[in-house]
Amino acid sequence: MIDGLKDVRVRILHMGCRTNLFESEALGCSFREAGALTPRQGEFDAAVVVTCSVTSEADRKCRQIIRRLRRENPGALIVAAGCWAQRISPGEARELGVDCLVGNRLKHRVPAIVAEMLGQGPHAAPPRVERMDVQRDLGWEPLYLSESRTRTRAFVKIQDGCDHRCSYCIIPDLRGRPVERNGEDIQEEVRMLASSGCAEVVFTGVNLGLFGRGRGISLGEVVRMAAGVEGIKRIRFGSIEPFCLDEPLLEALAKTPQFCPHLHVPLQSGDADVLRRMNRGYTPEQFEALIGKARSFLGEDLHLSTDIIVGFPGEAEEAFRATLEMLERTRVGKLHAFPFSAREGTPASNFEKPIPPDEIRSRMDRALMTGYELLGLYSRRWVGKEVEVLVERNQEGKISGLSRHYLRVETRGDPRPGEIATLTIKDSVKGALIGLV
């Protein structure tokens, strides 16, 4: 038990990926267990930002959020944790008003650090720095969820780190080498979440598909184990790389009724040369074959969502068109398109033939329009059919939740959050389904 946090108001914010979301929610559990309050708005005594540094734009947003927090409360304790905090200099942190930097694999110490620093009184420069060499440390960071803030769905982190080294990505330097969570600990956390009323768990990691590499328990076995926990009605993955979708995993997913038929599989490009220079480890033909194999196991209605990077150095117009064509051939539903952002310290930051900003913006518009059309095409297939919806909110009779295929569903009625309602879909609007109870 951590002393000194009773009734302390701690605002916790996160940026970036679902792994960061898990870590921020786990920190919230730790603070509340120590007696602290975790308001999402209003006054605060301390603020913790779980940061992202995947692009220079993410860095900019980190600085923006910290400046805003400092303006809101000049006397509060501000802690930056995670990827941005792993790499930023103490000098820049001091200029921004950060009181403490906590790097990756040390975030579980944040509540104790906050209690200690608040007990010391006014915060003096330079900022406190808590960081380790994540390339050498292979331990699992003991963060966990005892309950879900939404009460219906929770992200459960079971893997961290990556050693794949895509040419544009700095995350292996910031997150460290791949590590994974003990199977018994995963099962215990899922049980705690189920007992708190959470019906759906989403397994997440920095490179989730690396879970079980060379170890006894596989990712498929984790899914089967979670399915055996009473109260768990749905299981999902946050994201999984194409080269991790092997037949044993797909077979395990297909044999688990609780696993929802949605996969987020990053494509990044549909052009062979661009993929090679990205060091993605697959060809367009291999990606397409893997998606076909996934549908053979999980059904033709499988919702495939994906990411693409627009404007990678040397990406010719023909290469960009090949990406759009790949999205159409693989029948993608939800698309996340990101403009290329050179990340200092990565090989791609030195690649020749950068794409002009105006051209990147034009291609982004085309990509987003393609994504809008593909999501509409996928969602309309459900009109006239019955779908099961896990209700997340019911505000004055207006219901919102997710279908098993990861589509937002809205209707009116009286089902309560946490219940699964069967609805007949009467329409599709901007990718959301409109249903009747």
Task: Report the distance separating Cα 394 and Cα 55, nearest Å.
Answer: 37
Give the sign of the dihedral formed by CA 398, CA 402, CA 403, CA 408: positive
* pLDDT for the residue 397: 81
For residues 316 and 219, state if they share a domain: no
- Are the C-beta atoms of residues 94 and 126 closer than 8 Å to each other? yes
For residues 239 and 294, state if they share a domain: no
For residues 205 and 228, state if they share a domain: yes
For residues 321 and 306, state if they share a domain: yes
* pLDDT for the residue 2: 83
| pLDDT level of residue 149 (50, 70, 90 thresholds) | low
- Domain with residue 149: its CATH number is 3.30.750.210
Task: Report the distance separating Cα 194 and Cα 202, nearest Å.
Answer: 13
| pLDDT level of residue 364 (50, 70, 90 thresholds) | very high
- The count of other CB atoms within 10 Å of the CB of residue 156 is 24
For the segment 211-253, what is each residue's pLDDT rounded down to a tens digit?
987 566 899 999 999 999 999 999 999 999 998 999 999 999 9
- Are the C-beta atoms of residues 381 and 301 closer than 8 Å to each other? yes
Distances (CA, A) of 418 to 200, 230, 231, 279: 9, 14, 11, 42
* pLDDT for the residue 98: 95
* pLDDT for the residue 396: 82
For the segment 66-76, what is each residue's pLDDT rounded down to a tens digit?
999 999 999 99
Task: Report the distance separating Cα 347 and Cα 133, nearest Å.
Answer: 21
Write down the H helix ranges in 102-244. Answer: 110-119, 171-175, 183-195, 219-227
Kindly give, in sequence order, each residue whose CB lies less than 8 Å from that of residue 166, ignoring residues fewer than 6 positions away: 268, 278, 279, 280
| pLDDT level of residue 4 (50, 70, 90 thresholds) | confident
Q: Cα 214 to the chain's mean position, in Å?
A: 25
Query: Is 160 a domain residue?
Result: yes
Mean of the per-residue pLDDT values of the chain: 93
| pLDDT level of residue 413 (50, 70, 90 thresholds) | confident
Whether 38 shows a pLDDT value over 90: the answer reads: yes
For residues 357 and 403, state if they share a domain: no
How many domains does the chain divide into? Answer: 4
Least confident span in 146-160, 308-322, 326-340: 146-160
For residues 218 and 240, state if they share a domain: yes
From the list 33, 238, 27, the residue with the least C-alpha distance to 142 is 27
Query: Is 1 a domain residue?
Result: no
Whether 165 shows a pLDDT value over 90: the answer reads: yes
Residue that has been written with the tokens 């990053």 in this structure: 266
Range of the domain at 368: 267-381
- Are the C-beta atoms of residues 65 and 57 closer than 8 Å to each other? no
- Are the C-beta atoms of residues 29 and 145 closer than 8 Å to each other? yes
* pLDDT for the residue 150: 66
For the segment 70-109, what is each residue's pLDDT rounded down to a tens digit?
999 999 999 999 999 999 999 999 999 999 999 999 999 9
Tell if the pTM clears 0.75, that is, is over it: yes
For the segment 391-410, what is each residue's pLDDT rounded down to a tens digit?
998 888 888 999 999 999 99
* pLDDT for the residue 253: 98
